Amino acid sequence: MDDKLYALILAAGEGKRMKSKIPKVIHKVCGMPMISHVIDSARESKVEEFAVVIGHGADMVKNQLGDGYNYIYQKEQLGTGHAVMQAVPFLEHKQGYVVVLYGDTPLITSDIISHLIEFTVNKGYNAGVLTAELDNPAGYGRIISDENNYVKAIVEDRDADYKQKLIKQINTGIYCFKIPDLLKCLNKLNNDNAQREYYLTDVIGIMNEAGLKVGACKTRRIHEVEGVNDRVQLASAERFMRYRILEQNMLNGVTIIDPDNTYIGKYCEIGQDAIIYPGNVIEGQTSIGEGCILFPNNRIEDSIIEPFAKLQCSVILESKIGENSTVGPYAYVRPGSNIGTNVRIGDFVEIKNSSIEDYTKVSHLTYVGDADVGKNGNIGCGVVFVNYDGRKKHRTTVGDNAFIGCNVNLVAPVTVGDNSYIAAGSTITEDVSEYSLAIARARQTIKPNWAKNKYKK
């Protein structure tokens, strides 16, 4: 028997209440689309194959998620039940269980999904519904259950009568169905309700009529099952997830001085004894090594910061900063940069697509673009690596132990050899051999008493 575990994620709705040109499920929470959070949690709970129902903004959703999913197209969004009906060709002939999730519940965890699956399978239910008790259940479907915890029906908020509206047990929108039982009941759905939609929730009543058993799997973790329908709820999900991530990092041994003003992505790794000051935003696939100090206000994205580096007020994108190096304040390290160990990148320095080897100092007001700079060098203040000729970019190479004086232009392509010196103010257009001194500027002349004579007639 095929007892594989499938997940069906509903993501075709427009999300009118978001008032957006972007489909709701790809609005981001902690830097990642809501639907990706849902899929990640399902994957961690051992779901083996995914199908995603797309419709509104289908191409945008597909572009975000990429390959690796069975996409099912729901041409018109006629309700959550209608969305699942579009998945019949995918589910047909399958014997296992399918977890149905909505793409707008980003806070859901793998623990809760696993618990629902075990609950349904182990207790022999034909379906399990994840439910929660809310003080303010407005907007959610209400669970009509009996004393044995069987779910008899789900009534949508808009269709509920006065008495049903008082019920506090709500439908989280997360279900686990035995596939053949779901298929048996799906085709009996109709749209006879306040919204003229095919509600997936009606399947529960239909299953009951067919003598099938539906269990209510209650969770106390009410924040984890909150749906996002508008931007107020989006901000609240962001806040909740941000704290969840921050707390995990703190428990792992990271000092976060002001959690209210620190932003760390879900997939960032931060080593023990790192200290994070307020105003840091750490995103994407970033790792921060042990003992690093992030002084206030850095933005770090998809980068590797090796242990004991110190950063301040800087932007680091798709780059690597080596052990013990310091960056900033106000440095801009752009994609493709590889900074060695014990390097100093000072204030108002921009580095782009360049490598800088160990112990080199680039202390102030310098642009290094498309260059390979050796170790132990000193790049003076105000140096410009002139990498663009108006049409093409060219590379510059600077050897080890080189001393580049202040205000030098290195016009690429050009090579500066090991142990050489470039005099301040030089514009270098030709290669400089090792151990030499290059001076490329007009010689100073002095005209004595010139100023005194200037006004004499």
Mind telling me the catalytic residues? 364
Stretch that binds Ca ion, among 97-105, 309-317, 338-346, 381-389 (CB under 5 A): 97-105
Residues 196-215 that bind ligand UD1 (CB under 6 A): 199-201
Q: Are strands 367-369 and 350-352 parallel, antiparallel or unpaired?
A: parallel
Asked whether 103 and 23 are in contact (CB, 8 A), the reply is no
Q: Which does 82 bind (CB under 5 to 8 A by kind): ligand UD1, Ca ion, none?
A: ligand UD1
The region that residue 199 occupies, defined by phi over 0 for left and psi between -120 and 50 for alpha, beta otherwise, is beta
Q: Which does 25 bind (CB under 5 to 8 A by kind): ligand UD1, Ca ion, none?
A: ligand UD1
Comparing every residue's Cβ against Ca ion, the nearest one is 227
Asked whether 98 and 176 are in contact (CB, 8 A), the reply is yes
Q: Report how far residue 72's alpha carbon sits from residue 453's, in angstroms, rounded to the nearest whole number.
A: 88
Size of the site for ligand UD1 (CB under 6 A): 29
Q: Which does 41 bind (CB under 5 to 8 A by kind): ligand UD1, Ca ion, none?
A: none
Structure tokens at 304: 């590797």
Binds ligand UD1 (CB under 6 A): choice among 5, 7, 10, 39: 10
Distances (CA, A) of 147 to 122, 153, 162: 20, 14, 21
Question: Across-strand partners of 102?
Answer: 10
| Residues near 120 by beta carbon (within 8 Å), at least 6 away in sequence | 97, 127, 128, 176, 178, 215, 217
CA nearest neighbour of 360 among 331, 327, 390, 387: 327
Question: CB-wise, 229 or 378, nearer to Ca ion?
Answer: 229
Shortest reach from residue 429's CB to ligand UD1, in Å? 60
Mask for 109-148, x = binds ligand UD1 (CB under 6 A): -------------------------------xx-------
Q: Report how far residue 454's alpha carbon sits from residue 445's, in angstroms, rounded to the nearest whole number.
A: 17
Q: Which does 141 bind (CB under 5 to 8 A by kind): Ca ion, ligand UD1, none?
A: ligand UD1
The answer to the question of residue 227 lying near Ca ion (CB under 5 A) is yes
The answer to the question of residue 219 lying near ligand UD1 (CB under 6 A) is no
| Helix H or strand E encompassing 63 | helix 58-65
Binds ligand UD1 (CB under 6 A): choice among 36, 41, 80, 286: 80
Residue 384: phi and psi, rounded to 5, are: -120, 125
3-class state of residue 238 by DSSP: helix
Binds ligand UD1 (CB under 6 A): choice among 26, 52, 97, 156: 156
Binds Ca ion (CB under 5 A): choice among 104, 156, 306, 357: 104
Shortest reach from residue 227's CB to Ca ion, in Å? 4
Structure tokens at 395: 């590379």
The answer to the question of residue 224 lying near Ca ion (CB under 5 A) is no
Binds ligand UD1 (CB under 6 A): choice among 45, 74, 126, 426: 74
Asked whether 272 and 289 are in contact (CB, 8 A), the reply is no
- E-assigned strands of 95-242? 97-102, 127-133, 142-145, 151-155, 169-178, 214-219
Shortest reach from residue 260's CB to ligand UD1, in Å? 28
Q: Report how far residue 396's alpha carbon sits from residue 82's, in angstroms, rounded to the nearest whole number.
A: 61
Shortest reach from residue 24's CB to Ca ion, in Å? 8
Return residues touching ligand UD1 (CB under 6 A).
10-13, 25, 53, 74, 77-80, 82-83, 102-104, 140-141, 154, 156, 170-173, 199-201, 227, 229
Return residues touching Ca ion (CB under 5 A).
104, 227, 229
